[in-house]
Homo-oligomer: A and B are copies of this chain.
Amino acid sequence: MPLLLAPEQAIALDRLLAEANVFGVDCKPVPGSGNPLIRGLGSLSGACPEQISFLSNPKLQEQLLGCRAAAVIITPAVWEEQLKGRDIPFVPVLCSEPYLMYALLAQWFDRHRIEKLPKGIHPTAVIAESAQIGDGVSIGPHCVIEEGVRIGEGSRLGPGCVIGAGSSLGKDCLLHARVTLYHGVTVGDRAILHSGCVLGADGFGFAPDPRGQGGWAKIAQLGGVLIGDDVEIGANTTVDRGALENTVLGNGVKLDNQIMIGHNCQVGDHTAMAACVGVAGSTIIGKRCTLAGAAMTAGHLTIGDDVHISGATAVTSSILKPGRYTGVFPFSGHSDWQRNAAVLPQLGALRRRVRALERQLQESGDAESCQTPSQ
């Protein structure tokens, strides 16, 4: 990939570390090892001489000495045990948490990119008079901001976003192109919303219509969506509005792409879901849970705090105890699968046959020797 900064934008290592390290992680170059100019961030194997890199996965340790980066973030232990006293071609940066520091450096480079994007309100945006737009808000071309909307200071909306009547965004939100909020959706500060996500579409509610032959009467969805601070929502993810109350996502919730959150759900703080997860209506999920890709939950369940659902698992009943839960049919070669899957419709019968064998052997054992068979 190309370098992220033009040559004239190159930043000295010490200044980069100081600006990026917003968490105050313990992180500094080995004294006297230099202060190179940095223009990007690369992997150990892919970094070029004007980039900074990092070692966090011990499996990649062997790539360290071949790394061409100008500086590499490592733990003090790696320094002491492997590099100290050797002739190394990069500036070693000692850090208690290289992976976190990598995240902070990546954020720095991305902020740098975003700050250079066009600012202000594009003339093609359609903004209702009653909308309250905070200071420093950027609104891209062809956005539509309806009546009564509030957008907090410093928020940035990409092209083609639609914010429905009475909805609100907090401060410093980043909406990529073509994000849709229906009316009555409240989003907290620092949200990152990706293209194609839809917040506040109608929940799926119908009453049987007694007039017709199997028809349905729509239950109009009168609740809204309430989203906390520091939430990220992926591309083409949908979060439906509540029937009467709000659908709620807590602080720090992270949703990947193409996730579906049904109406009236509540998702606890810091819970993260990978792509293609579906959560059916009225299910309550606790804090710090993870749902791996393509996991699904039925509706009206309660899932407690610190529950971890494996990928492609269908959760059909509540889970109150923390831990990891799984339900996946193991894949195999197709003909092996056919052979084994063919037994599934007979599993109940198979168990009965085993029971019958056990009884039979017990009886024959009893009859023969009056001994209890070994079990």
Segment touching B, from A10-18, A81-89, A318-326: A318-326
A121 at the A/B interface (Cβ < 8 Å)?
no
Contact status A198-B196, CB under 8 Å: yes
Q: By the criterion CB–CB under 8 Å, are B165 and A144 in contact? A: no
A97-B210, A102-B219 in contact; A324/B333 too (CB < 8 A)?
A: yes
Central interface residue in A224, A347, A358, by most chain B CB within 10 Å = A347
**Interface positions of A from 334 to 375, Cβ below 8 Å from B:** 334, 336-348, 350-351, 353-354, 356-361, 363-365, 373-375
Which B residues lie within 8 Å of A164 (CB)? 177
- Beta-carbon contacts under 8 Å, A215-266 to B: 215-224, 230, 232, 234-236, 238, 240, 242-246, 252, 254, 256-258, 260, 262
Pick 5 A–B contacts, CB within 8 A, sort by A: A162-B177, A196-B236, A262-B275, A276-B278, A296-B312
CB distance from A85 to the nearest CB of B (A): 30
Whether B178 and A162, one on each chain, are in contact in the complex, defined by CB atoms closer than 8 angstroms, is: yes
Which B residues are in CB contact (< 8 Å) with A6? none
A205–B142 CA distance with the chains assembled, in angstroms = 30
Which residues from B are CB-within-8-Å of A25? 210
Determine the distance from Cα of A332 to Cα of B288 in the docked complex, in whole angstroms: 19
A75: B residues at CB distance < 8 A: none
- Report how far A50 CA is from B343 CA in the complex, Å: 53
Q: Which residues of B contact A119 (CB under 8 A)?
A: none
Q: Which residues of B contact A230 (CB under 8 A)?
A: 215
Is there contact, CB below 8 Å, between A218 and B196?
Answer: no
The smallest beta-carbon distance between A334 and chain B, in angstroms, is 4
Identify which of residues 141-158 in chain A touch chain B, using a CB-to-CB cut-off of 8 Å. 141-142, 144, 158
Q: How far is the CA of A224 from the CA of B4 in the complex (A)?
A: 12
Residues from chain B with Cβ under 8 Å of A213 in the complex = 269-270, 288
User: Shortest distance in angstroms between A268's beta carbon and chain B's nearest beta carbon?
Assistant: 9
Q: Are B356 and A375 in contact (CB under 8 A)?
A: yes
A210 and B334 form a contact (CB under 8 A): no
Give the size range of A's interface with the partner: 35 or more
A224 touches B1 (CB 8 A): yes
Q: Give 7 nearest A-B pairs by CB, closest first.
A: A327-B331, A110-B220, A312-B314, A214-B288, A201-B235, A106-B220, A144-B159
Contact with B along A21-47 (1 / 0, CB 8 A): 001010000000000000011110010
Are A244 and B180 within 8 A (Cβ)? no
**Pick from B99, B176, B232, B260: contact of A276, CB under 8 Å:** B260
- Enumerate chain B residues within 8 angstroms of A332, measured Cβ to Cβ: 325-327, 345
**What residues of chain B lie closer than 8 Å to A254, measured between beta carbons?**
204, 206, 216
| Structural contact, B329 and A333, CB atoms closer than 8 A | no
Knowing A331-B327, A333-B325, say if A180 contacts B182 (CB, 8 Å).
Answer: no
Q: Of the candidates B4, B106, B207, which one forms a contact with A102 in the assembled complex, judged by CB atoms under 8 Å apart?
A: B207
Cβ A210 vs Cβ B23 within 8 A: yes
Chain B residues, Cβ within 8 Å of A240:
235, 257
Is A267 part of the contact surface with B, judged by Cβ < 8 Å? no
Q: Across the interface, do A182 and B162 meet the contact criterion of CB distance under 8 Å?
A: no
